[in-house]
Amino acid sequence: MAAELGTGTDKATPFESAVVPATHPLRPLQAGQVIDGFRLDRHLHQGGMAQLWQVTAVGPGDGIEKEMPLIMKVPRILGGEDPASIVGFEVEQMILPKLSGVHVPRFIAKGDFTRQPYIVMERIGGDSLRKRFDAAPLPIAEVVDIGTRVATALHELHRQHLVHLDVKPSNIMFRPVVDGAGGEAVLVDFGLSRHDHLPDLLDEEFELPMGTAPYMSPEQVQFVRNDTRSDLFALGVMLYHLTTGERPFGFPDNVRGLRERLYRDPTPPCTLRPDCPTWLQEIILQALEPQPDKRQQTGAQLAFELQHPDQVVLTERAARRTRSGKMKVLSRWFSAIGNQPSERASATTQLARSPMMMVALDVANGERELLDTLRLTVGRLLQTEPHARLACLAVMKVSRLGMDELMEADGSSKHVNLLVQLKHWAHPLMQSLKLPADTQAGRVTFHVLEAPDAASAIIDYARKNQVDHIVMGARSSGGLRRYLGSVSTQVTAQSDCSVTVVRAPVRAKE
């Protein structure tokens, strides 16, 4: 299903609901016309499935901010010739009101098919990602920035029980940056999407794989519509294109061509672009793995890797310089024959199985009993969450004036010493996981922050990296705690995620 809110011109394929471009809307629309209290001001875009109008609320406008720019999306329908476009529009009418936040346009109103079908929503003032694709390959820093913002947006939508299933450049927009704020990625066009709490009308009524051919995941080709990792595959395709200027799987025009991504791997990005960092190739090729279990499991994990390249574990994917040989492709082809993907749980259940966890430690000054208890607590959590990622975090306090001495008396770096202590604390934990060394390293990462306020640094880090669960120790009782207050109390009060505060066991009095 083609995107209509972007400015792109992605070609329609048989897998995009077999859309036949309409030549007339349901009702002739003209500038100045008023529909249910919305005046049509200017025609903005004419697509194969819908047209877009800039509108102004002239009625009572219940809850509508007068300064908010609005857009009306009206489906183009040819009496019965394109049932998929009608169903897709109905799907979007059901889904958009259930979504909220900066990563989606704000829903305003809708009209049903008995009179005039439409959706009125917030108009996003920024550009679509489609324009930047025309300039690919882009600078690596820009690729990373775009990927981080899109992965963050996808993770938030997945948290709201949604799988988009049509992630592509023309369906991604960016909010304008004003006074240093804004710039968030916004997903649009939910006509192919699936929501956990709504009926999947497309799955019930149609028997073709649906999506945009270059960006469809292998499981979408196999009619799976409830896997959040399908959206991460599409993001991997976009990162590949932005990095190399080429599509990893071309633009197939039939099901046979689509199925090739189940067994053929793309040319490694470093081969097409020698200055591509190996860590970025690792991230991209992992996102493009045919088997969802081998990809990053959440958008938060993918965004984390893009923001922390030093923590990316390089596997054989990073060393590839050629595509797989004929024998390996043939072996994958035989494996793909008749292979059916396993059933997946709901979007939110999938995210719950792959949480981002963080343990905040005072390894330099903390009590040994408390550090040991924290290790045991985190170990139990990781054992029960096999797909969880753990960030071990320490805060090196510095003054707001930046006049601190960053070297120890022996000439060593305080920052490096703190990092070494973090890894020493985690060593027994890594051993207890009983995983291959490369898997352990990718699952547990280490970070030292330099900040004047420990609590604020922990809270900001958790928000930026979409942490689901913070584990930290409680400061011992005493005059210092009463005077300075508790870091754990501030983190618990101000964090957006769950916080577990651990205390050291109380020693029995002799």
In three-state form (DSSP H/G/I as H, E/B as E, the rest C), the secondary structure along 223-237 is CCCCCCHHHHHHHHH
Q: How far apart are CA 88 and CA 165, in angstroms?
A: 12
Q: How far apart are CA 221 and CA 215, in angstroms?
A: 11
pTM, entire model: 0.85
The predicted-structure confidence for 364-374, as pLDDT tens digits, reads as follows 887 889 999 99
Domains and CATH numbers, the chain: 34-122 (3.30.200.20), 130-348 (1.10.510.10), 355-502 (3.40.50.620)
Contacts of residue 487, Cβ cutoff 8 Å, sequence gap at least 6: 454, 455, 458, 472, 475
pLDDT averaged over every residue in the chain: 85
Q: How far apart are CA 56 and CA 38, in angstroms?
A: 5
Share of the chain above pLDDT 90, in %: 56
Rounded to the nearest angstrom, the gap between the alpha carbon of residue 82 and the centroid of all alpha carbons in its chain is 32
Rounded to the nearest angstrom, the gap between the alpha carbon of residue 455 and the centroid of all alpha carbons in its chain is 26
Range among 62-66, 192-196, 198-202 rated most confident: 192-196
The upper half-sphere exposure of residue 361, i.e. CA atoms within 13 Å in the direction of its Cβ, equals: 31
Greatest alpha-carbon span in the chain:
89
**Helix extents (H) in 337-464:** 347-352, 368-384, 414-433, 437-443, 454-464
Look at residue 2 in the predicted model and tell me its pLDDT: 38
**Helix extents (H) in 245-295:** 255-259, 269-272, 278-287
Nearest to residue 435, comparing CAs of 386, 373, 378, 385?
386
The predicted-structure confidence for 70-79, as pLDDT tens digits, reads as follows 999 998 876 6
Work out the pLDDT band at 432, boundaries 50, 70, 90: confident
Residue predicted with more confidence, 510 or 30? 30
**How confident is the model over 314-334, as a mean pLDDT?**
81
Q: Indicate if the pLDDT at residue 41 is higher than 90.
A: yes
Work out the pLDDT band at 483, boundaries 50, 70, 90: very low
Q: How far apart are CA 152 and CA 299, in angstroms?
A: 6
* CB-based contact 53:44 (threshold 8 Å): yes
Neighbouring CB atoms inside 10 A of 335's CB total: 13
Q: Indicate if the pLDDT at residue 194 is higher than 60.
A: yes
Q: 3-state class of 39 per DSSP?
A: strand
Contacts of residue 140, Cβ cutoff 8 Å, sequence gap at least 6: 243, 275, 276, 277, 280
Q: How far apart are CA 340 and CA 262, in angstroms?
A: 11
**How confident is the model over 301-326, as a mean pLDDT?**
91
Q: How far apart are CA 391 and CA 384, in angstroms?
A: 17
Q: Indicate if the pLDDT at residue 104 is higher than 90.
A: yes
**What DSSP state is assigned to residue 37?**
T
Work out the pLDDT band at 9, boundaries 50, 70, 90: very low
Look at residue 311 in the predicted model and tell me its pLDDT: 92
